[in-house]
Amino acid sequence: MSQSGTSPTTVTSDTSGVNNARKTSRVNRSWLWMIALSVLGISVAAMGIREFRARSASLTTANADEHSDANVSRPHTDVSVTPAGTLSAPQLFQSFRGEIRPRRESSLAIRRAGILAEIMVHEGDRVRLGDVLARLDTSDLDVREQLADAEVDAAEAAVTEAVRGPRYQTLRASAARVRQLKAQLSAAQSRWERQQKLDVRNSGTAQELDDARFASEELQARLEAAVAELDELNEGTRVEQIDAAKAQRRVAIAARQQVDVDRRDSQILAPYDGVIANRYFDEGAMLSPGQPVLRILETDPIEARFGVPAGVADTMSIGDSLTVVIGENQATARIVRMQPQVDEITRTRAIDVQLDPSTNQSPAIGGVLVGQTASLQIPATNSTTAHFSDTEGAGNIPFWLPTESLVKSSRGLWSIYVAVRQSDRGIDLAEIERREVRIVRTTGQLTLVQGMLRSGELVVTDGAHRIGPGVAVRVHVDPVDRIVEQPLASQHVCAPESLQ
């Protein structure tokens, strides 16, 4: 019984051990295969790399041999060169921006209110001093003018009558009137005397007596007035009356002149020679007094305003002759005004220059427009190379070279090609080397560079696009006169970025 109970347990333990051994064996074999495959891959990669290097070396050797053969068989490239240090520094200019401004500009308005009847000009029209540019409807002034003329005529007649005095016929009529009143007074006094006598005898009434007395007194007063009028006529017109008549005449004349003033104020006249810049209204518009209708600019002579630093302005004076660049052309100008103060915002001093009278008619410029941008060119001191010494060695001395000799390099740098003569070749044969340089300043056709360059080395100035490092060339020295011959307008100071 005991043996039969122990046997199954022993068999189970042996079976579990065998299974574990099998699993361990399979895992070990997997790792071995992975290691073998990795070693095989590394070996294949190493063989491929050796094969690639061998082929590259073979191709390099073949290309070198082919290039050498080509250099031997290919003809030399002709290039123009300039020895470093032979070009002198050009005249440099400080450039200051400004704009073309009118010498005078005005907004033209009509002083009277009314309807705009006629406007004779448009934008861009040139006008002369005194030209009629616009006019209001003046029908109301026509009526006022007739009334004023009539008042002037009446005042003139009154003055003439006052100066000449009364007419002879008027004097005779006044004298006759006095005699008539004397006769009537004599008759009235006689009736009054008779009434008094009748009243004493109680033959008349009190009413009749009073009537006779009052009639006599009335005629006496009228006679005195007629005598005074006759005396005044005999003496002539008084001075005060003549002065009063003349004063009335002046009032009438002034009223007539006011009509003429209003008529002149009903139109716009050109205040000076110029060009119409703006037209704000058309015919039929209702205008209020002083409302601008036109804007005029005086363009002859032409002026420009520039803002320059105070230190630069201190070296200038009124009347100095300067160069102004307009577009791609240049013109001569003269300083006419200098502002006495410095602008608080720009910290510059305003300089007004007047261009030569022939500038606006110059075919090269083709007419200058108000508001056009211009540049003022002021000679600058050539102190760029003053602090460099010839004893500092290559790389520190800057040289002026033709801008066309610069070749764009990597990472935004610049380089040049130098033709180095070989001792085993002819005097005009050389080999090209590439030198890195730094741009110090450019003036258009000439550029100041600094780099690994020595005085006298031959810098390629023409044909740089056809060569490269190691190329054999035949050199021709470029005449200096052809290089430095450049227009003034291109000689302003520029930043190196202008080459890019």
Token code pair at residue 301: 């002579």
d(CA 293, CA 117): 13
Query: Which tokens hold the place of 477?
Result: 């020295």
- Residue spans per domain, the chain: 2-74, 79-90+383-499, 104-137+266-298, 303-379
Which position has the token pair 């696009």? 465
Pinpoint the alpha helices (H) of 138-201. Answer: 139-164, 168-200
**pTM of the entire predicted model:** 0.52
Within 8 A by CB and 6+ apart from 254, the residues are none
Higher local confidence (pLDDT), 216 or 384? 216
Specify the higher pLDDT residue, 226 or 59. Answer: 226
Q: Strands, E, within 382-445: which ranges? A: 399-402, 407-408, 414-421, 429-442
- Token readout for 464 is 């740089």
Three-state DSSP class for residue 89 = coil
Question: Is the pLDDT confidence value at 440 over 70?
Answer: yes
Asked if 270 contacts 129 with a C-beta cutoff of 8 angstroms, the reply is: yes
Do residues 333 and 353 make contact, with C-beta atoms less than 8 angstroms apart? Answer: yes
Measure the N-to-C terminal CA separation of the chain; round to a whole number of Å: 107
Closest CA relative to residue 461, chosen from 77, 79, 90, 87? 79
Instruction: Please give the distance of CA 302 from its chain centroid, rounded to a whole number.
Output: 12
CATH of domain 303-379: 2.40.30.170
**Rounded Cα–Cα distance for residues 454 and 149 (Å):** 97
Q: List pLDDT tens digits, range 91-113.
A: 777 889 999 988 899 999 999 99
Domain 104-137+266-298 has CATH 2.40.50.100: yes
**According to the model, what pLDDT value does residue 58 have?**
54
For residue 76, what is the DSSP state?
P
d(CA 330, CA 323) in angstroms, rounded, equals 7
Whether the Cβ atoms of residue 402 and residue 394 lie closer than 8 Å to each other: no
Q: Indicate the DSSP class of residue 370.
A: T
The mean predicted confidence, pLDDT, of the chain is 79
1 or 374, which is more confident?
374
Percentage above 90 pLDDT, the chain: 29
* Beta carbons within 10 angstroms of residue 437's beta carbon: 25
* pLDDT recorded at residue 232: 74
For the segment 292-326, what is each residue's pLDDT rounded down to a tens digit? 999 999 878 889 999 999 888 888 899 999 989 88
- pLDDT for 59 equals 52
pLDDT number for residue 388: 45
Task: Report which of 218, 217, 219, 195 is spatially closest to residue 207, judged by C-alpha positions.
Answer: 195
Tokens of 39: 């070693």
Q: What's the confidence (pLDDT) of residue 1?
A: 39
398/39 Cα distance (integer angstroms) = 60
- The band of 421, judged by pLDDT with boundaries at 50, 70 and 90, is confident
pLDDT tens-digit series, residues 176-206:
888 888 888 888 888 888 888 887 887 778 8
CATH top class, domain 79-90+383-499: mainly beta
pLDDT at 353 over 90: yes
